[in-house]
């Protein structure tokens, strides 16, 4: 385990933007040079607390420039709501799309921030009617809000989860449709969600949901994080960030993801006319 003093920035992620995109990606910023691979996703793709995230390892394995377009705590909405980011991804030879959790998306029950998708903005009339005793103005984050709903009325919570799952499937199909060309769905299972209250990542995404959207992609790559792989060995974080680091995939998992993706990306890139 590696950590800096509390309050210090343990890693410099060189946050950057590309073109007119309003999303903040992990840097250093690069100039895309065809042919390149673009990887979009959430905190796992960003590589929080990891010096060399899997997009960098994938580039080393394939020899193809690989842009890390992961955003912290992102859901599908972050990319669907940013045409400039999708334009950049469209220029890639191969696109890798991480299956992000279903909790950080706007839906019929609540609205999230368009870029910082873990930020809860407001509840709909439907959700207020379902939970009349809850003061939704007290919430700033989706994880906190959903955990309270789950604990306060377990019998009602499946109604909320079902809505999120339906929205996730529709949104993932839409994203795939907008990414013309070879694309890979990356599913990383077994890590604990950052709030550590809603279950393992990708939150609320079942195997059946994965199977339902898989036909929209050319390939599906699955990586499961075994319980023994959890921990903070090799990760870089400040003392106060320890609990958050323990919820994220470590360097060994990033190596495994890159190893699983590399032959698929090389094959798809070679088949592009």
Residue 150 covered by a domain: no
Residue 222 covered by a domain: yes
Residue 47 covered by a domain: yes
DSSP 239: G
Q: How many domains does the chain have?
A: 1
Residue 41 covered by a domain: yes
Q: What is the pLDDT of residue 243?
A: 86
Q: What is the pLDDT of residue 227?
A: 65
Q: What is the pLDDT of residues 60-88, one digit of tens each?
A: 999 999 999 999 999 999 999 999 999 99
**What percent of the chain stands above pLDDT 70?**
92
Residues 254 and 57 sit within 8 Å (Cβ to Cβ): yes
State the chain's mean pLDDT as an integer: 92
- H/E run at residue 111: strand 110-112
DSSP 191: P
Residue 69 covered by a domain: yes
pLDDT band for 4, please (50, 70, 90 cuts). Answer: very low
Q: What is the pLDDT of residue 89?
A: 97
pTM of structure: 0.92
Is the pLDDT assigned to residue 7 strictly greater than 70?
Answer: no
Q: Which domain holds residue 76?
A: 2-101+172-270
Q: What is the pLDDT of residues 192-246, one digit of tens each?
A: 544 456 888 899 999 999 999 999 999 999 998 876 566 788 999 988 898 888 8
Is the pLDDT assigned to residue 116 strictly greater than 50?
Answer: yes
Name 43's Cβ contacts closer than 8 Å, sequence gap at least 6: 70, 72, 73, 74, 194, 248
Partners of residue 25 on adjacent β-strands = 16
3-state helix/strand/coil string of 45-89: HHCCCCCCCHHHHHHHHHCCEEEEEECCCCCHHHHHCCHHHHHHH
Choice among 112-121, 163-172, 241-250 with the minimum mean pLDDT: 241-250
Residue 63 covered by a domain: yes
Q: What is the pLDDT of residue 200?
A: 83
Residue 13 covered by a domain: yes
What's the burial of 157, exposed, middle or buried (CB within 10 Å: 0-12/13-18/19+)? middle
- CATH number, residue 17: 3.40.50.1110
Q: What is the mean pLDDT of residues 135-158?
A: 96
Q: What is the pLDDT of residue 192?
A: 58
Question: For tokens 């709903």, what's the residue?
Answer: 149
Q: What is the pLDDT of residues 18-48, one digit of tens each?
A: 999 999 999 999 999 999 999 999 999 999 9
Residue 143 covered by a domain: no
Is the pLDDT assigned to residue 149 strictly greater than 60?
Answer: yes
Distances (CA, A) of 186 to 133, 160, 219, 220: 39, 25, 9, 6
pLDDT band for 103, please (50, 70, 90 cuts). Answer: very high
Structure token pair of residue 82: 């940013």
């Amino acid at each position: 385990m590696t950590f800096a003093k509390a309050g210090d920035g343990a890693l410099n992620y060189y946050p950057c933007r590309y073109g007119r995109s309003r999303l903040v990606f992990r840097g250093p910023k690069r100039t895309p040079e065809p042919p390149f691979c673009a990887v979009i996703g959430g905190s796992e793709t960003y590589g929080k607390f990891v010096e060399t995230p899997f997009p960098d390892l994938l580039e080393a394995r394939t020899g193809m420039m690989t842009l890390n377009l992961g955003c912290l705590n992102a859901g599908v909405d972050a990319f669907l709501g940013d045409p400039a980011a999708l334009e950049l991804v469209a220029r890639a030879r191969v696109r890798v799309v991480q299956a992000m959790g279903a909790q950080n998306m706007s839906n019929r029950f609540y609205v999230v921030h368009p870029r910082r998708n873990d930020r809860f903005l407001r509840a709909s009339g439907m959700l207020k009617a379902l939970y009349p005793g809850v003061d939704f103005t007290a919430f700033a984050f989706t994880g906190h809000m959903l955990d309270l709903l789950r604990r306060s009325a377990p019998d009602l919570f499946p109604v909320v989860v079902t809505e999120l799952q339906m929205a996730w499937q529709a949104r993932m199909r839409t994203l795939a449709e907008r990414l013309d060309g070879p694309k890979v769905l990356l599913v990383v299972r077994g890590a604990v969600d950052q709030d550590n209250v809603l279950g393992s990542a990708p939150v609320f995404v079942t195997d059946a949901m994965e199977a339902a959207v898989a036909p929209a992609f050319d390939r599906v790559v699955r990586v499961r994080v075994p319980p023994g792989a959890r921990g903070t060995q090799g990760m870089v974080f400040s003392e106060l960030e320890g609990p958050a680091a323990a919820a994220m995939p470590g360097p060994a998992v990033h190596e495994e993801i890159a190893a699983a993706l590399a032959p698929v990306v090389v094959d798809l890139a070679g088949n592009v006319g």
